[in-house]
Amino acid sequence: MEESSATLRQRRELLLRELPPFDAVLRGSLVERYKRCGKPGCKCAQGPGHGPKYYFSVSRTNERPVMAYVPQSDHARTVEYLSNYRRIRHILDELCDINRELLRRREAF
């Protein structure tokens, strides 16, 4: 069943209220790395290595991805900001869908 235009506008309002703060965003991804230290007798030689250590990676058009070390103290916030970015993009897509549908119906935005 088709959503009424009133429902569409209502959903748009709700989406706007769910928007994460625009200043708390990061585009890219978090990379997990384990490293062997090479010290003789260290137990890491048998396992995957020390870690996980986190690196933030972002790619730009025509550029090689840039990696930056993320200290443990910044890990949670980095995860949150990456998630905010994806959420904002998702909400923008939804808003565009709603507006496109209203336009198609020749109704007021």
Contacts with Zn ion by CB under 5 A lie at 37, 42, 44
| Residue 16, CB-side half-sphere exposure with 13 Å CA sphere | 8
Residue 76, Cβ density class (10 Å: 0-12 exposed, 13-18 middle, ≥19 buried): exposed
Looking at beta carbons only, is 6 or 37 nearer to Zn ion? 37
- Asked if residues 57 and 70 have their Cβ atoms less than 8 Å apart, the reply is no
Helix (H) or strand (E) holding 58: strand 50-58
Shortest Cβ 50–Zn ion spacing (Å): 5
How far is 81 from 19, CA to CA, in rounded Å? 12
Smaller CB distance to Zn ion: residue 36 or 75?
36
How far apart are CB 71 and Zn ion at their closest, in Å? Answer: 19
Closer to Zn ion at the Cβ: 21 or 40?
A: 40
Provide, rounded to whole angstroms, the least separation between the CB of residue 47 and Zn ion.
9
